[in-house]
């Protein structure tokens, strides 16, 4: 009997930051409809935290993260991954370049998050985007929201620096309680300014705000990306099983 062909593998360019990658993997597992270990998707994680800071680089006009992201892509390609996910919002500044370097689909966290927002908050007209300064400047979410007729709200400069960016930095340094306090204050302030919903558009933010009850819906792009990966996996697994069926039937006859 010949060895069965492996199921399609998901590749994850991670480490940006490590805790956010772990959060993504937990959400990936929780979103998968599986009754046993064997029904979960195979995942290979390139968890390399030494990628230069994406926000600092973009704001300074530097391309420093690019060779590290490309190395992650090539490593996962060589490992046989059939799709790629990047659980880092700011790294999507380089998404189109990465996607152009491979024939493997590179899922886009913004596409998944905005689709989740439209499903969960169909009446939202003003949405606050909590993100790194680079994600905001690059309009990773603003352009997509505008295309859907939604006004994207950004924190003012002081709120961004003292609460949002500081909160993100607190998660990266392991100070989750500090991060939760800072990001809750920023969320409450933006809701008071008229936000119908929030987009937690940095993968550290859902880690900090886990369990916090906010007066408006808060969309988690990490969870949306995980669910998009599950959708890909189920379709790819079914396609792979369909291709294997004739040989399996022949084997059974022999």
- CATH no. for residue 21? 3.40.50.1860
Asked whether residue 118 is assigned to any structural domain, the reply reads yes
Instruction: Judge if 97 and 144 occupy the same domain.
Output: no
pTM of full prediction above 0.85: yes
Instruction: Judge if 54 and 143 occupy the same domain.
Output: no
How many Å apart are CA 228 and CA 112, to the nearest integer? Answer: 7
pLDDT, residue 160, reads: 98
Contact 16, 87 (CB under 8 A): yes
The crossing angle, in degrees rounded to 10, of helices 18-31 and 221-253 is: 50
pLDDT, residue 238, reads: 86
How many Å apart are CA 237 and CA 7, to the nearest integer? Answer: 6
Instruction: Judge if 129 and 77 occupy the same domain.
Output: no
pLDDT, residue 149, reads: 95
Give 45's strand partners.
12
- CB-CB neighbours of 86 under 10 Å: 28
Asked whether residue 72 is assigned to any structural domain, the reply reads yes
Instruction: Judge if 126 and 176 occupy the same domain.
Output: yes
Instruction: Judge if 53 and 89 occupy the same domain.
Output: yes
**Tokens for 227?**
């669910």
Asked whether residue 4 is assigned to any structural domain, the reply reads no
* Domain total in the chain: 2
Instruction: Judge if 96 and 28 occupy the same domain.
Output: yes
Asked whether residue 65 is assigned to any structural domain, the reply reads yes
Asked whether residue 1 is assigned to any structural domain, the reply reads no
How many Å apart are CA 236 and CA 110, to the nearest integer? Answer: 22
Instruction: Judge if 101 and 114 occupy the same domain.
Output: no
Give 129's strand partners.
199
Asked whether residue 240 is assigned to any structural domain, the reply reads yes
Instruction: Judge if 201 and 123 occupy the same domain.
Output: yes
Strand order in the sheet with 9-14: 43-47, 9-14, 81-85
Asked whether residue 202 is assigned to any structural domain, the reply reads yes
Instruction: Judge if 176 and 232 occupy the same domain.
Output: no
**CA distance to 59, 70, 112, 228, per residue, from 24 (Å):** 26, 20, 14, 12
5 SS3 class: coil
pLDDT, residue 7, reads: 83
pLDDT, residue 240, reads: 76
Instruction: Judge if 120 and 43 occupy the same domain.
Output: no
* Segments of 137-217 assigned E as strands: 151-153, 197-200
Q: Write out residues in the chain with pLDDT < 70, as ranges.
A: 1-5, 243-254
Phi, psi of 73 (to 5 degrees): -60, -50
**Tokens for 64?**
């420093």
How far does CA 178 lie from the centroid of its chain? 23
Asked whether residue 161 is assigned to any structural domain, the reply reads yes
Contact 203, 89 (CB under 8 A): yes
Instruction: Judge if 66 and 154 occupy the same domain.
Output: no
Q: Could you list the residue range(s) of the whole structural domain that residue 152 is in? A: 110-221
> Tokens 């920023």 appear where?
186
Residue 3 has what DSSP assignment? P
Residue 163 has what DSSP assignment? I
The crossing angle, in degrees rounded to 10, of helices 221-253 and 109-120 is: 110
* Cα-only R_g, the chain: 19
Instruction: Judge if 131 and 214 occupy the same domain.
Output: yes
């Amino acid at each position: 009997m010949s060895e069965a062909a492996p199921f399609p593998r998901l590749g994850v360019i991670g480490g940006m930051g490590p805790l956010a990658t772990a959060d993504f993997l937990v959400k990936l597992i929780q979103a998968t409809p599986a009754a046993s270990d064997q029904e979960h998707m195979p995942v290979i994680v390139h968890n390399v935290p030494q990628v230069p800071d994406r926000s600092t680089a973009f704001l300074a006009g530097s391309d420093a993260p690019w060779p590290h992201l490309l190395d992650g892509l090539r490593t996962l390609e060589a490992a046989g991954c059939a799709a790629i996910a990047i659980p880092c919002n700011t790294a999507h500044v380089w998404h189109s370049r990465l996607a152009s370097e491979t024939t493997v689909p590179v899922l886009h966290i913004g596409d998944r998050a905005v689709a989740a927002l439209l499903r969960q908050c169909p009446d939202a007209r003003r949405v606050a985007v909590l993100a790194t300064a680079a994600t905001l400047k690059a309009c990773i979410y603003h352009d997509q929201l505008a295309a859907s007729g939604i006004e994207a709200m950004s924190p003012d400069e002081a709120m961004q620096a003292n609460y949002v960016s500081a909160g993100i930095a607190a998660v990266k340094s392991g100070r989750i309680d500090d991060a939760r306090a800072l990001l809750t204050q920023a969320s409450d302030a933006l809701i008071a300014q008229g936000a119908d919903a929030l987009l937690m558009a940095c993968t550290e933010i859902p880690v900090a705000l886990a369990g916090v009850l906010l007066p408006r819906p808060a969309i988690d792009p990490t969870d949306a990306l995980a669910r998009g990966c599950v959708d890909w996996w189920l379709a790819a697994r079914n396609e792979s099983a369909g291709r294997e069926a004739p040989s399996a039937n022949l084997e059974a006859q022999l």
